[in-house]
């Protein structure tokens, strides 16, 4: 007997423990220093691309500066933020996988995705946030497909915009989202046209039967 919510909670808990255990390993001097320096300069009042050259679009420097204010000025602070987003990514990834397979299968696939993602390079680089927000955006688009509520399209666009603030690669998800919406609308129009044609055919058949 499967209990999807219970399995999801177990998967998230196990993944969180594993990610936490890996969060203080694999320090890469040039990447960690770049991230830390950008965050510290923002915390001191400077603005990315105005007062200093940021290697990325600048949003991550702001996020990391807030982590310095909350957790202290040390490189592990920014990894705590990455850890939080990683755990949220696990929950959303499971939610998507559970739509395609059994709950246990979704749990195994999710844990496999965890093992082969962030722990391999736990530096809080923007590419991880591009991945996370792309998955969040896909979830929002799936919810739109299921409910036809436009608020989910808005949310997917917001995820894409935030992803861009971390790194230009966020534009790839936005482009993919636009293609999805174009395809979705074409498919919807095609299905509506087929349904209307079937209704017209049924009405014509009823009229012919009444005449006979």
pLDDT in tens, the chain (212 residues): 568 889 999 999 999 999 999 999 988 888 999 999 999 999 999 999 999 989 999 999 999 999 999 999 999 999 999 999 999 999 999 999 999 999 999 999 999 999 999 999 999 999 999 999 999 999 999 999 999 999 999 999 999 999 999 999 999 999 999 999 999 888 877 776 667 666 766 676 666 666 66
Q: What letter does residue 118 receive in the DSSP assignment?
A: G
Host H or E run for residue 152: helix 150-166
Report the pLDDT value the prediction gives residue 91, as an integer from 0 to 100: 97
Q: Which two tokens stand for residue 42?
A: 């923002």
- Cβ proximity of 92 and 73 under 8 Å: no
Residue with tokens 């971390």: 166
Report the pLDDT value the prediction gives residue 201, as an integer from 0 to 100: 63
Report the pLDDT value the prediction gives residue 26, as an integer from 0 to 100: 87
Report the pLDDT value the prediction gives residue 151, as an integer from 0 to 100: 96
Report the pLDDT value the prediction gives residue 20, as an integer from 0 to 100: 96
pLDDT of 171-205, one tens digit each? Answer: 999 999 999 999 988 887 777 666 766 676 667 66
Report the pLDDT value the prediction gives residue 82, as an integer from 0 to 100: 97
Report the pLDDT value the prediction gives residue 206, as an integer from 0 to 100: 65
Q: Which two tokens stand for residue 184?
A: 């979705």
Report the pLDDT value the prediction gives residue 195, as an integer from 0 to 100: 72
pLDDT of 124-133, one tens digit each? Answer: 999 999 999 9
- Cβ proximity of 10 and 107 under 8 Å: yes
Q: Is 22 helix (H, G, I), strand (E, B) or coil?
A: helix
């Amino acid at each position: 007997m499967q209990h999807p919510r219970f399995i999801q909670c177990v998967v998230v808990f196990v993944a969180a423990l594993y990610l936490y255990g890996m969060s203080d390993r694999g320090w890469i001097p040039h990447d960690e220093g770049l991230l830390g320096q950008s965050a510290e300069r923002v915390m001191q009042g400077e603005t990315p691309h105005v007062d200093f050259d940021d290697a990325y679009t600048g949003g991550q420097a702001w996020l990391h500066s807030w982590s310095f204010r909350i957790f202290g000025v040390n490189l592990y602070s920014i990894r705590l933020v990455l850890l939080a987003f990683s755990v949220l990514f696990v929950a959303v990834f499971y939610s998507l996988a559970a739509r395609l397979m059994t709950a246990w299968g979704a749990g195994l696939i999710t844990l496999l995705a965890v093992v082969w993602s962030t722990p391999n390079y736990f530096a809080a680089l923007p590419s991880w946030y591009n991945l996370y927000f792309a998955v969040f955006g896909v979830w929002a688009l799936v919810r739109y497909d299921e409910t036809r509520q436009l608020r989910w399209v808005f949310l997917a666009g917001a995820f894409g915009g935030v992803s861009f603030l971390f790194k230009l690669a966020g534009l790839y998800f936005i482009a993919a989202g636009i293609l999805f919406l174009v395809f979705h609308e074409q498919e919807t129009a095609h299905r509506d046209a087929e349904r209307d044609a079937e209704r017209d055919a049924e009405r014509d058949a009823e009229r012919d039967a009444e005449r006979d």
